[in-house]
Amino acid sequence: MATPPGGLAFCVFPTAIGYCALVWRAPGTVVGTALPHGSAQNTRAAVTRWYPAARESDPDPAIAGVVAEVACLLGTGAGDLTDVDLDLAAVPDFDRRVYEVVRTIPAGDTLTYGEVAARLGAPGAAQAVGQALGRNPFPPIVPCHRVLAAGRQVGGFSARGGRRTKLRMLEAEGVHLEHPTLFDV
């Protein structure tokens, strides 16, 4: 099934961390994403709750490329999502600026909320950066998992699975913040 003309479409696809989804508007502009919600059915239900007008469709070639890059990123830590066209029309200006900075963080690297705020020219706005990332409609295309609390602490993560999901995504990129204990082995 092709993208509905002028409408929203979505697809659910498997990744190493579970079923994710992309929501797009033709021709290939990503409107939102969903990280795993426990199963393909639960991810699909979340997308239809957030985007009731979206219809499940086969991805067009541009979106199929984004799907492949997301799956690669979440599996091996490789994958380049910096050129993905995002629909930022509904995103507040401050959040948009935060997302622009965060999209420059390469896989395998991290910044703190404070460092992102400083790059925005707003030192002291670390909490506002965290709130903007908590509203991120585009994970992992806007790689909010690469932003840490002060002292390289994990900090929060609003996706299902919270900190554990964030750590798993970072570990796929070669960033290890916590060392396994005897009980994790």
Catalytic residue positions, numbered: 144
Phi-psi region of 150 (alpha: psi -120 to 50; beta: other; left: phi over 0): beta
Please list the residues that pair with 18 across neighbouring strands: 15
How far is the C-alpha of 32 from the C-alpha of 99, rounded, in Å? 13
